[in-house]
Amino acid sequence: MKTKLKQFAALFLSVLLVLAMVFSVAACNGGGNGPDDSGNKGPTEQNPPDDTGDEKDSFTVTFHYGFDAGDFDAATGTVKKYKSELKRETKGKKVTLASAALKLFEVEGYEVSGYSTTDWQKDGIAADMDVNVLYTPLETVNVTFKNADGSVIKTATGYKGRALALSEYPDTEDPVFIISSERFNEMTAAEQSDYTDYEAAGSSLTGYKMLKADAARINSAAVVPVGKYFKSWEGMQTTPTADCTVTAALGDGDAVMPKTAAITVDGVKDAAYEQVDSLVHVVVYSSVTNDKMKDYTNDDAGWKKAATRQGGTNAADAKIYAAYDGDWLYFYFEITDERVLNLGKKFNEQIANPWQQDGIEFYYAFGTATCRLQVDALGYHIDAGDYTNSSAYQDKVQYATSLTGVDIASVKKGEGMIEATGATGYNIEIAIPAYKEPEKGATPSDTIGGAGWGEKVGIGDMMYFALQLNNIDALPVERAYDQAISENSANLYAYMNSIETASFNAVAFGSQFHDFVDIGYAKRYVLG
């Protein structure tokens, strides 16, 4: 018993000793049970700083958006895997997204229907935030495109209430041109070898031919018979709301420029020319402007407003002939004029205003830019003129003139004024390279078809065309003429409003210097 008491007493003393040592260590480290301020004593190797208690004042809002095909669960309307993310930093303020950022969220065939949380649109953001963009599938509509002959070109898929993407439309800028059997039979065997029968399901056309190279495009481009042009899609809704069918509406070209062998440009009409028009006498009012000329038809309101002819007794008229050989476009203008007048070589070469005497102004376009060429009746000078889109090919154009009613060889083209009183008309022949005019400011190389030249035109391409016939009744007196030459005046018309008015015989010339201006309705001519 005494032995057990001694053992218990020894154990008790050992426990007291251990407790004393523990409290002693605690006291050495800062006051026993008092607050722990070791964080204010600076870092030590044994006690690194603890910053887990610091508060953030900037937060990140991450938007998850976009997905690949197959990553949208149509059953639940959720995205299984987002493709991209967009981060925005904020100091607790609401996040505002610019339109460019919102556009990033768009996915073809779906519309953004909301967000998994709208807390990012409110002030008081106090933590990093993830926002999932929510999507809803758009309802589809089918637009079936048909040719004018009833054949189906393609069926495009769009979205209800939204404009059909332009990429879904058939090609109308470069359609498949088809030619009649009559035109085909006029071709050489070599040319015919490039063609094949045009056959399309549902087509009402028979006997037409198309280029073999175009066969693969009848399911992606409109089909247009040569001699016609594409006008519009009939039945097309701006924003389709249901399945629909639209049909190509075609207009008639005013003439087909026949494909022929090369023509010699010498002022004499070749047999290969075909007449494509006659001049229609109108006065151009201010509502009919050059930049619109290419779009005019006989039904245009500006032309309906036009009168028949203004002033003067020196009647003139013109017939227009045309042809095409694959490399050049040929025009032959056959003009009748009671009195062919010209201001002579010196005036034409020095002042270079063909329009201030008998002659033509010739406007044409293959696209949006209308170009001009002008030639005087005796062919002293050809000029593109001070015009918005002067022809870039002026120095490549071939031209020649001739007089009718007199022995052409006997007409003297002198240094001064000339009055060809024996002539009853004149002819002007022009050949233009078969290339679209280059962009304004581009300088074509000397080599035809080289650098800087526009696209070459071919069968089926449309050319817009207008002819202006300038005509005067009398020549200015020599004193005024000599003064204009000596001062190198750019415009004899200025003398009509100067001290020389009387010398110019205003009554004879008319108030606008020209006796009258005749212009043919602007036409659409198709290369055939």
Q: What is the pLDDT of residue 137?
A: 93
Measure the CA dihedral 206/208/210/212, to 10°. 60
- Tokens linked to 526: 């198709």
Q: What is the pLDDT of residue 212?
A: 93
pLDDT tens-digit readout, 306-343: 433 333 445 677 888 888 888 898 999 999 887 788 87
User: Cα(234)–Cα(150) distance, rounded to whole angstroms?
Assistant: 13
**Strand order, beta sheet including 209-211:** 195-197, 209-211, 171-179, 221-225
Q: Distance of alpha carbon 48 from its chain centroid, rounded?
A: 70
Bridge partners (DSSP) of residue 163 are none
Q: How many CB atoms within 10 Å of residue 58? A: 10
Q: What is the pLDDT of residue 341?
A: 81
Q: Distance of alpha carbon 290 from its chain centroid, rounded?
A: 19
Pairing of strands 244-252, 228-234: antiparallel
Q: How many CB atoms within 10 Å of residue 323? A: 24
User: Cα(281)–Cα(338) distance, rounded to whole angstroms?
Assistant: 16
List all residues 6 or more positions away from 300 whose beta carbon is below 8 Å from its beta carbon. Answer: 288
- Tokens linked to 251: 């207009």
Q: Which of 428, 518, 426, 506 is nearest to 473 (CA)?
A: 506
Q: What is the pLDDT of residue 43?
A: 42
User: Cα(223)–Cα(178) distance, rounded to whole angstroms?
Assistant: 7
User: Cα(337)–Cα(406) distance, rounded to whole angstroms?
Assistant: 13
Q: Is the dihedral of CA 109, 114, 117, 119 positive or negative?
A: positive
User: Cα(489)–Cα(492) distance, rounded to whole angstroms?
Assistant: 7
User: Cα(219)–Cα(36) distance, rounded to whole angstroms?
Assistant: 84
Q: How many CB atoms within 10 Å of residue 93? A: 11
Q: What is the pLDDT of residue 32?
A: 40
Q: How many CB atoms within 10 Å of residue 347? A: 26
Q: Per-residue pLDDT for the chain (528 aa), expressed as one digit of tens each? A: 445 545 544 555 454 444 444 444 444 444 444 334 444 444 444 454 455 556 788 999 999 999 998 999 988 999 999 999 999 999 999 999 999 999 999 998 899 999 999 999 999 999 999 999 999 999 999 999 999 999 999 999 999 999 999 999 999 877 888 888 887 887 778 888 989 999 999 999 999 999 899 999 999 999 988 777 788 899 999 899 999 999 999 877 666 677 788 899 999 999 888 887 665 544 333 333 444 433 433 344 444 444 333 334 456 778 888 888 888 989 999 998 877 888 788 778 777 777 778 888 887 777 656 788 889 998 988 888 655 567 888 889 999 998 888 755 445 555 455 666 668 889 999 999 988 888 766 788 989 989 989 888 877 777 777 777 777 766 666 666 666 666 655 445 454 444 333 333 333 332 223 333 333 334 445 555
User: Cα(232)–Cα(234) distance, rounded to whole angstroms?
Assistant: 6
Q: What is the pLDDT of residue 356?
A: 76
Domains and CATH numbers, the chain: 59-137 (3.10.20), 141-252 (no CATH), 274-473+510-527 (2.60.40)
Measured CA distances, 80 to 66, 70, 133, 307, 450 (Å): 11, 9, 12, 71, 55
Q: Distance of alpha carbon 365 from its chain centroid, rounded?
A: 14
Q: Which helix (H) or strand (E) holds 221?
A: strand 221-225
Where helices occur in 262-356 by DSSP H, the ranges are: 301-304, 344-350
Bridge partners (DSSP) of residue 335 are 318, 426
SS3 344: helix
User: Cα(132)–Cα(192) distance, rounded to whole angstroms?
Assistant: 63
Is there a contact between 429 and 335 (Cβ–Cβ < 8 Å)?
A: no
Bridge partners (DSSP) of residue 336 are 317, 425
User: Cα(424)–Cα(429) distance, rounded to whole angstroms?
Assistant: 17
Query: Residue 390 corresponds to which amino acid?
Result: S
